[in-house]
Structure 1
Amino acid sequence: MLTRTRTTATAGVAALAFLGTALTAHADGPGGSVECDVFICEVEADAPGRPGAGSGSGAGSEPQGGSGEDGASSSPWTCTYELVSPPPPASSLDWAGHTPGDGAVYEQTCRYLDSGNSVVRMVWLADPPPAAAAVDPAELAQWAADSMKLAGPDIASPRAAGRYLVGMPMWMWVNQSPTTYGPNTASASAGGMTVTATAKVSKIVWQMGDGAVVTCTGPGTPYTAAAGKTHSPTCGHTYTHTSTHQPQRRYQVTATSTWTINWQVTTGGGGQAGQLTETRQTQMQVPIGELQVLN
């Protein structure tokens, strides 16, 4: 597991470069007040004498956010540190007014909850931060997967506005994109290790609302007029009753995609690899009528 380290910088203003999407400003994040635009944040770090300011030691003070009943931190941030080597020149603002030899400058990487947003900045610490536990590559893989923003199936058919009949084969398929079907690739790094993960939907389970469950191992086949009244060769269903007696006179359809996420350590981990699985859902309502024959 990655270590949750409770440390705040002593003084100064640092520029934060994003590793993911733009970070929402949080008053209880690393450092003090946060001002962001789309790509860059500037964080005014806690200075001595301010509430929540660090003492200048490696242990530091907890970023503002309170504590739990057991006194443990409730900070939503998880941070790791890497010693900057060679150190910055003595004139660098990274020293926060201190001189080389008085403490050290570290590269701090912080991640907010499970948002997939990460922030990197330089911080000065009087003492080394607590020793971090070995980085868990599976956790880094989860970070990478979270940053992909995987979503449920983008259903192309059946359509909520479509007209479908009892006894007529229904063809089911989904639109494919990196976030709704894959493949989708992302990387995450910490403690000198980088993990790259690739996610793709391995199956979609359709609950049709009439008690039937259809499992499709691909995106489905788009219907064309040339197919006539034939059944889909890959993913389909035939309703045997109308939806007249269903809520809103429609069947509730739920499509659940299973994402298979294969990951491997690409830097600093001896070629370790593994697999994660996640699911996402999309729901819709489908009207099923019957053909009326007029004499």
Structure 2
Amino acid sequence: MDPAQLAQQAADKMRLRAPEIGITPKPGGKGVVGMPVYMWTETGPETYGPNTASASAGAVTVTATAKVSKIVWQMGDGKTVTCTTPGTPYEPEYGKKPSPDCGHRYEVPSSTQPSGKFHVTATSTWTIDWQVAGGGQTGQLTEIRDSDVDITVVEVQVLN
């Protein structure tokens, strides 16, 4: 059997999933134009890696290790943010500070969209490195997974 096919079998055992989206504002809540938006994913073997599995045929065993190399966030306002970390979950003490590794700011309210919400899609690129046990062949596979949420962003009017 072709080692690359065994590598795919090993990858299939891993049950790699799409990002488990964390975002501020939370779906169902409201964000404010100009305020920092934090994006992140839960980190685990199936949502960010690393994840390792093996597959064998006859005397050949292939071990594959998968991890997310990037998450591309389509923010619903025409902008895209590429993050090479899982992101930082927002904490209230961060206040108005931007995310240190995976953030965005909306410049217009979501009322500019037909649905009244921004449709945010997070697409993980899983890089799967594999090798035949005992040395020999190595290779790489790529798998893509995505998930989405809708968020509301409003403008705040200040009156004097």
Q: Which has the higher strand share?
A: 2
- Percent identity (aligned): 61
Question: In structure 2, which of residues 142, 155, 159 is the aligned counterpart of residue 290 of structure 1?
Answer: 155
Q: Take 1:247 and 1:184, find their aligned partners in 2: how far apart are those partners? A: 40
**Using the alignment, how far apart are the partners of 1:181 and 1:196 within structure 2?**
18
Distance in structure 2 (CA, Å) of the matches to 1:184 and 1:255: 20
When Rg is computed on C-alpha atoms for both structures, the one with the higher figure is 1
Aligned-partner residue type, residue 215 of structure 1:
T
TM-superposed CA distance for 1:220, in Å, is: 0.5
Deviation of residue 248 (structure 1)?
2.6
Q: Provide the residue aligned with 1:279 in structure 2.
A: 144
Q: Specify the alignment match of 1:76 in structure 2.
A: none
Deviation of 1:294 after TM superposition, in Å, equals 4.5
Tell me which residue corresponds to 2:97.
230
TM-score by length of 2: 0.93
Structure 1 moving runs of 4+ over 3 Å? none
1:233 shift after superposition:
1.0
The amino acid that maps onto 1:148 is M
* Counterpart for residue 32 of structure 2: 165
Would you say the 8 A contact 2:63–2:131 is kept in 1?
yes
AA partner of residue 4 (structure 2): A
SS of the residue 2:97 aligns to: coil
Letter of the 2:63 counterpart: T
**Partner residue, 2:110:** 243
Provide the aligned C-alpha RMSD in A: 1.4
TM-score (norm 1): 0.52
Q: Do 2:10 and 2:63's aligned partners in 1 also have CA atoms closer than 8 Å?
A: yes
**Amino acid in structure 2 at the alignment position of 1:164:** G
- Number of aligned positions between the proteins: 159
Q: How far, CA to CA, are the matches of 1:177 and 1:167 in structure 2?
A: 31
**For 1:120-141, what per-residue CA distance to the aligned partner results, in whole angstroms no more than 9, with x for missing partners?**
xxxxxxxxxxxxxxx2101100
Q: Alpha-carbon deviation of 1:293?
A: 2.8
Correspondence list, 1:58-207, <5 A: 135-158=1-24, 159-207=26-74
Q: 1:161 is aligned with what amino acid?
A: G
Give the counterpart letter for 2:12 in structure 1.
D
Rounded to whole Å, the distance in 2 between the matches of 1:163 and 1:229 is 15
Unmatched 5+ stretches in structure 2: none
Greater RCO structure (CA 8 Å; 6+ sep)? 2
Q: Distance in 1 between matches of 2:103 and 2:75?
A: 10
**C-alpha displacement at 1:149, in angstroms?**
1.3
